[in-house]
Amino acid sequence: MRGCLQATAGFVAAIFVLTAVTALIGTNLIVVATDRETVKGLFTGLDEVVRQTAPALIMEAARQEALARGIGDLPIDETQLQTAVATVIPPGWMDAQAAAAVDGLYDYLETGDPADAEVTLDTRPLLDSLRGAAGQQMVTAVIANLPPCTGGVPNFSTVGNVEVPDCLSPGTDVQQLSNVVHTAVVNAIDQNPELLANAGVVRIPLFAAGDAVGLSGERQTEWARLQRNFAFARTWGWALWLLPLACLLLIALLVVRSLPTWGHWWGWPLVIAAVVVLFFAIIAPALLTFVARTAVPPPTDPLALPLRQLGLNLITTVADRWLVRVYSQAGILLALGVGFILMAFGVTAVREKGY
């Protein structure tokens, strides 16, 4: 009978190790994923990504236009473009908009109210920058890097409400043309009804009714499902620890008859679970990085490199914050397990010496 109870307790101890490892890893992932402040911290550095990609996009568009006109070697002042873009984007503006977007999404995920599913963009700092000298500098940089016209007058393309030439005629006064285009940009900003109605604050509802802009019906269904899963995990994530605790109680009922047996039957499973978690935590960063780099190989398009690096940085940041919690809690498990084992050996030694 005793051997049967011990075999059963051993099986329950194995279940404890598996469930404790799952609970420790899973609950901390839930905590990290459901903490809006943690998620907002993941999107720092967007300003730098835009500063890297925007000039490259402008240069690529200019080169394509030049090739369409039979111009193979287009001299582009990359430094001028980079400086113009860096100047026109207010410091920290992109990071602030990303944080506001995360707030809007988490407002919905936490409440489940579609009215809270709204992304708010404060365009006022950017618009003020575009209206001023920084906007003038950026327009001049774009105009100066247009390809030369190979025949006749340039064609004008409408970007928003602004007419922009697709090439420069010989003898064109770049500064004068850029002044005209910049004035048109400022007028377009000042006459935009949506910007005027909301004083430069743009609100984008994700769950729009009627013909309003918003997510498609299929996307809305996916977000509603995500919200239910988010709410369930946030509310009941702690329940992952119920099964490991139940296993420890069952072990106590099956085989614990003294302090030494209690120490051994609880201590060793706790130590094994902690060691398994710590081993997984040690290899997890390298494993995640390998999987991320394998799943998303380095792009051939240089414009995608900053975005790929941003994605890898997000994974690294999540892993780092998760690891801090895992290491601390695994350390507590290890300390408890060692404490139980030392208690078992200590009580046994005392009894053997007849104290």
Q: What is the CA angle 253-258-260, rounded to 5? A: 115
9 and 100 inside one domain: no
268 and 289 inside one domain: yes
Q: Crossing angle, helix 2-33 and helix 242-255, to 10 degrees?
A: 160
Stretch (H or E) spanning 204: strand 201-205
213 and 324 inside one domain: no
Q: Name the domain count of the chain.
A: 2
182 and 61 inside one domain: yes
Domain boundary among 219, 247, 270: 219
225 dihedral zone (left: phi>0; alpha: psi -120 to 50; beta): alpha
188 and 245 inside one domain: no
290 and 170 inside one domain: no
227 in a domain, yes or no? Answer: no
Residue 145: CB partners within 8 Å, gap ≥ 6?
Answer: 58, 59, 62, 74, 76, 77, 80, 81
85 and 214 inside one domain: yes
CB 319 within 8 Å of CB 283: no
Which of 87, 176, 90 lies closest to 133 in space, CA to CA?
A: 87
The one-digit pLDDT tens for each residue of the chain (355 residues) are 677 888 888 899 999 999 999 999 999 989 988 888 888 877 777 777 777 777 777 666 666 665 665 555 555 666 777 777 778 888 888 888 888 888 888 888 888 887 777 778 888 888 888 888 888 888 888 788 777 777 666 766 665 566 677 777 777 788 888 888 888 888 888 887 777 777 778 777 777 654 445 556 677 788 788 888 988 988 898 999 999 999 999 999 988 888 888 999 999 999 999 999 999 888 887 777 666 666 555 555 555 555 566 666 677 777 788 888 999 999 999 999 999 999 988 887 777 776 5
226 in a domain, yes or no? Answer: no
193 and 314 inside one domain: no
Question: Could you tell me which residues are beta bridge partners of residue 165?
Answer: 156
For 113, list phi and psi in degrees, rounded to 5.
Answer: -90, 115
295 in a domain, yes or no? Answer: yes
Residue with tokens 């409440």: 111
246 and 133 inside one domain: no
185 and 311 inside one domain: no
53 in a domain, yes or no? Answer: yes
Q: Which residue range is the domain that position 174 belongs to? A: 44-219
295 and 258 inside one domain: yes
230 in a domain, yes or no? Answer: no
256 dihedral zone (left: phi>0; alpha: psi -120 to 50; beta): beta
